[in-house]
A and B are shown apart, each in its own frame.
Chain A
Amino acid sequence: MAIFRSHVLICGGTGCTSNKSQLVKARFEEKIKEVKLDKEVQVVGTGCFGLCEEGPIVIVYPEGSFYSRMTVEKVDEIVDEHLLKGRIVEKYLFKEKAKVEHAEEHKSLMEVQFYSKQKRVALRNCGLINPEDINEYIARDGYMALGKALTEMTPEGVIQLMKEANLRGRGGAGFPAGVKWSFAAPNKADQKYIICNADEGDPGAFMDRSVLEGDPHAVLEAMAIAGYAIGATKGFIYVRAEYPIAVRRLHIAIDQARELGLLGKNIFNSGFDFDIETRLGAGAFVCGEETALMQSIQGNRGMAKVKPPFPANKGLWGKPTVINNVETLANIPQIIINGPEWFKSFGTVKSPGTKVFALGGKITNTGLVEVPMGITLREVIYDIGGGCPGGKAFKAVQTGGPSGGCLTAEHLDTPVDYENLAAVGSIMGSGGMIVMDEDNCMVDIARFFLDFIVDESCGKCTPCRVGTKRMYTILERITQGKGTLEDLDELESLAISIKNSSLCGLGQTAPNPVLATLKYFRDEYIAHVVDKKCPAKHCKALLTYEIDKDKCTGCTLCARKCPVSCISGTVKNPHEIDQEKCIKCGNCYSVCRFGAVQKN
């Protein structure tokens, strides 16, 4: 095997790919050939590095130089200078945005604050290996855990070890994986199944996608281990069709694992057979719910069923089934290799380990982070995420997506784990973290999530199908300035009925965003219904645009940009907006160079 003196790692995750990282990669390969370095320098496509905001990301080893926002134009200079002559191109290196002491420009990967506070277990290989090459996974101890389990451990031993590690379900509910396995293991059946739940549906969440794209073999290995533990020989990965890169890499990974005999018959000569297939979901949010997911795999319409029976007893095609989330699975090989004590050395007593979060919304470093449980929201949002951009004030953070709730500035020092987040009225959820600043209207946020739920309700049970729709209409009325104080009581009473009477997790958690905003931002609701004002100046129906006569210079720019020609006035004289005709598009507000247009 050829040894290369330098590796150029280029992110091939969805974020960087949509920013043309594939073109950057192609140019690197071309240019490296041109200067005849192709025997010395290896170009590697990897999974997500996490700092999606700064993509496309390129890392050059052995120095570990961290180039951000790469373009095809920058490639030639990096090859000529860095790879050919050994001079790091400082001007293209990533520059820290978060406030850091001793922030120097020359950064290698681990010096960047975004990474230095993280602890990577589930994401340990993401961005470090080529996910399309099984050898790179094996080099990072890949499939050693499966080998150890099959050759040195009994199925009961594997379950016992998982129980001790107390790895809780990373899909959001937090049920211990080892306990789940122990329910399925004793059930006698001619066939049992392992399902990987990769139906990641929360708006703004992309943890599972990144794991599948960056380290697909970790998920395959963990599924085989789970299969051995409960006596299943068949696995399904239920993954969204909207994740084409993840699906492609999974297929490559499955083929490579079969070729090496790491999937298939008699793995490690232990007599254990296991094989995996993928099933593509069409993007229904409810199919992330386990009973609906199994219906979908069976070819039926994705609708939830009553539990019990639980999947561990009667799951896919009525057979005992264990369903684990992608991130949960990605932790498992590491736990088998390093033991439960190692795993419990991170995180808190009740929630050991780490958690991956997808940072999104009004945050400087949009991206993917993995932190030990028990870290505070403040550390995640400010130290790693770099706070809200543009100096805007932080208002709230939504955890757990449409099933979760928002937390305010007073909760910033809450340690992040299952119990603590639940205690303050939100949930851990699958890991989406959407940050909101002063410009976000909380009533509108609640309306947005309800809109999502109304679309995604499967319609099987009335509280969810009809109730969420009613809640949505009330919220819409409030954002249009037509709400009343009684509406707020109505919202609360509906929310409680829906929570108590819905069939599945989707309906039971659907009112959470409304309840949380009502609890922490009631004054905003009251401003909407009583004063008919939107404090964040977001809800169009409650806004007026006016021109300050003293500031207006009569430049006519706003009048020219107004799509409905409702601004009148002559050159060098103050202009005026016809409120009757104004559609509140905000064009005049954003184009005015003198701050003369006021939004109220």
Chain B
Amino acid sequence: MKSLEELRKIREEAIKNVEMRNPDKDIRVVVGMATCGISAGARPVLSTFVDEVAKRNLKNVQVVQTGCIGMCTYEPIVEIYAPDKEKVTYIHVDSEKAKRIVAEHLVNGSVVREYTIGSEI
């Protein structure tokens, strides 16, 4: 080890892996992963969210899975909870949509209206 810089570099890489174990996060991305969700393709959606959040170093975001939300026809469903904001429900999410949701909703704070359940009903 020759410099503090070198140590910081190792730290930046390593932190991505350990960050998940920090429970103090405000924003929760909840992916429906019951049988209905999985068969509709929720698994790659979940991994996309996990990868994108780590890649962009979004320390405030927690990606979790949940069971059946009850609207199996709209799966894969992704819900985003943030403090003092209304819950946003995205439906028929795939990996590409997930990337856009991360970029627009989680990073820039603007809801991707066209993917939400409101646009369908």
Chain A residues with a Cβ under 8 A of chain B: 1, 3-7, 9, 40, 42, 61-64, 84-87, 108-110, 128-129, 135-136, 138-144, 147-148, 151, 260-262, 267-269
Q: Which single member of B17, B49, B64 contacts A4 (CB below 8 Å)?
A: B17
Tell me if B4 and A147 are in contact (CB < 8 A): yes
- B27: shortest Cβ distance to chain A, in Å? 12
Tell me if A148 and B23 are in contact (CB < 8 A): no
Which 7 A/B pairs are nearest by Cβ-Cβ distance? A86-B65, A139-B14, A86-B33, A5-B50, A135-B14, A261-B1, A139-B18
Tell me if B33 and A84 are in contact (CB < 8 A): yes
Tell me if A3 and B31 are in contact (CB < 8 A): no
B1-39 residues at the A interface, CB under 8 angstroms: 1-4, 7, 10-11, 13-21, 23, 31-35, 38
| A139 surroundings in chain B (CB, below 8 A) | 11, 14-15, 17-19
Tell me if B18 and A3 are in contact (CB < 8 A): no
Separation of A3 and B47 alpha carbons in the complex (Å):
9
Tell me if A5 and B46 are in contact (CB < 8 A): yes
Q: Which single member of A85, A129, A135 contacts B10 (CB below 8 Å)?
A: A135
| A148 surroundings in chain B (CB, below 8 A) | 4
Q: Which single member of A1, A86, A128, A268 contacts B17 (CB below 8 Å)?
A: A1
Residue contacts A-B, CB under 8 angstroms, 18 given: A1-B17, A3-B17, A5-B47, A62-B63, A62-B64, A64-B23, A86-B33, A86-B66, A86-B67, A128-B21, A135-B13, A138-B7, A143-B1, A143-B7, A147-B7, A260-B1, A261-B2, A269-B3
| A42 surroundings in chain B (CB, below 8 A) | 17
| B10 surroundings in chain A (CB, below 8 A) | 135, 138, 260
| A86 surroundings in chain B (CB, below 8 A) | 31-34, 64-67
Measured CB to CB, the nearest residue on chain B to A111 is B23
* Interface of chain B, main secondary structure: helix
Tell me if A268 and B2 are in contact (CB < 8 A): yes
Separation of A236 and B33 alpha carbons in the complex (Å):
51
| B46 surroundings in chain A (CB, below 8 A) | 5, 40
Task: Indicate if B51 sits at the interface (CB-CB under 8 A).
Answer: yes
Task: Indicate if B112 sits at the interface (CB-CB under 8 A).
Answer: no
Tell me if A151 and B1 are in contact (CB < 8 A): no
| A138 surroundings in chain B (CB, below 8 A) | 7, 10-11, 14
- A583: shortest Cβ distance to chain B, in Å? 55
- B10: shortest Cβ distance to chain A, in Å? 5
| B50 surroundings in chain A (CB, below 8 A) | 3-5, 40
Tell me if B15 and A110 are in contact (CB < 8 A): no
Measured CB to CB, the nearest residue on chain B to A148 is B4
Query: A140-B18, A260-B1 given. 10 additional CB < 8 A pairs?
Result: A3-B51, A4-B17, A4-B50, A64-B23, A87-B66, A108-B23, A109-B23, A135-B17, A136-B14, A262-B1
- A275: shortest Cβ distance to chain B, in Å? 14
Separation of A142 and B8 alpha carbons in the complex (Å):
10
| B33 surroundings in chain A (CB, below 8 A) | 84-86
Chain B residues with a Cβ under 8 A of chain A: 1-4, 7, 10-11, 13-21, 23, 31-35, 38, 43, 46-47, 49-51, 54-55, 62-67
Tell me if A129 and B18 are in contact (CB < 8 A): yes
Interface centre among A3, A4, A42, A144 (most CB of B within 10 A): A3
| A7 surroundings in chain B (CB, below 8 A) | 20-21
| Given A3-B54, A87-B67, A135-B14, A9 contacting B4 (CB threshold 8 A) | no
Separation of A108 and B32 alpha carbons in the complex (Å):
20
Separation of A269 and B64 alpha carbons in the complex (Å):
43
| B47 surroundings in chain A (CB, below 8 A) | 5, 40
- B83: shortest Cβ distance to chain A, in Å? 17
Tell me if B4 and A151 are in contact (CB < 8 A): yes
- B8: shortest Cβ distance to chain A, in Å? 8
Separation of A268 and B11 alpha carbons in the complex (Å):
15
| A128 surroundings in chain B (CB, below 8 A) | 18, 21
- A314: shortest Cβ distance to chain B, in Å? 33
Interface centre among B13, B23, B31, B54 (most CB of A within 10 A): B23
Tell me if A267 and B64 are in contact (CB < 8 A): no
Measured CB to CB, the nearest residue on chain A to B16 is A3
Tell me if B35 and A85 are in contact (CB < 8 A): yes
| B7 surroundings in chain A (CB, below 8 A) | 138, 143-144, 147, 268
- A487: shortest Cβ distance to chain B, in Å? 57
Tell me if A63 and B64 are in contact (CB < 8 A): yes
Separation of A141 and B51 alpha carbons in the complex (Å):
23
Measured CB to CB, the nearest residue on chain B to A82 is B65
Interface centre among B43, B50, B63, B65 (most CB of A within 10 A): B65
